[in-house]
């Protein structure tokens, strides 16, 4: 009987390590599978983000906001002097004007029409009410009217809005 037990023990002893070996191999395969899935999932998600970035880069983009060019100022000399009759007394207004533009070529094209521009501004300034001009709101309204008058002339003569603003650099009421 002792002889019969030994071969069974030997077979039983071999069976236990084989079962542990299968378990270890199964765990290693499961870990490799988990690591592989993790790496594959990460790669998939990152490559998907790259595909979106590439698609956005290839998609037609909207034009960027235009960059504002630096302002160019043109002083109109000599200063404008107009007279008013206010309650039977003569009154005067002296205005120094500067034109603000962003395009030098358009401003140069408008300089050709400077006599017409000065005439328009003189007529505009002399048609104002003296009491209204004495207030800050009245002066700002006059500046806006001058701007629209100059822009209208520029559009008519040159085809572009050459002047962005008309600025009063000096305004004296007497």
* Tens digits of residue pLDDT in 106-155: 899 989 999 999 999 999 998 888 888 889 999 999 999 999 999 999 99
pTM of the complete model: 0.60
- 20 and 45 together in one domain: yes
Neighbours of 87 (CB within 10 A): 8
- Whether 67 is in a domain gets the answer no
Q: How many domains does the chain have?
A: 2
- 168 and 144 together in one domain: yes
Of 61, 87, 113, the one marking the end of a domain is 61
- 34 and 106 together in one domain: no
- 43 and 107 together in one domain: no
- With bands split at pLDDT 50, 70 and 90, how would you rate the model's confidence at 46? confident
**Residues near 86 by beta carbon (within 8 Å), at least 6 away in sequence:** 130, 131
- Whether 66 is in a domain gets the answer no
Residue 71, Ramachandran bin (φ over 0: left; ψ between -120 and 50: alpha; else beta)? beta
Domain that holds residue 136: 72-173
- 129 and 169 together in one domain: yes
């Amino acid at each position: 009987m002792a002889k019969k037990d030994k071969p069974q023990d030997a077979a039983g002893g071999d069976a236990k390590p084989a079962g542990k070996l299968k378990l270890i191999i199964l765990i290693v395969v499961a870990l490799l599978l988990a690591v592989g899935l993790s790496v594959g999932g990460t790669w998939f998600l990152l490559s998907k983000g790259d595909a979106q970035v590439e698609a956005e880069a290839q998609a037609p983009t909207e034009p960027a906001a235009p960059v504002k060019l630096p302002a160019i100022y043109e002083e109109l000399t000599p200063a404008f002097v107009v007279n008013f009759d206010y309650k039977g007394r003569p009154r005067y207004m002296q205005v120094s004007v500067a034109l603000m533009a962003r395009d030098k070529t358009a401003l140069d094209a408008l300089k050709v029409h400077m006599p017409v521009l000065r005439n328009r501004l003189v007529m505009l300034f002399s048609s104002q009410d003296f009491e209204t001009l004495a207030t800050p709101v009245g002066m700002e309204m006059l500046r806006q009217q001058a701007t629209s008058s100059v822009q209208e002339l520029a559009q008519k003569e040159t085809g572009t809005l050459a002047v962005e603003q008309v600025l009063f650099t000096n305004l004296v009421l007497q």
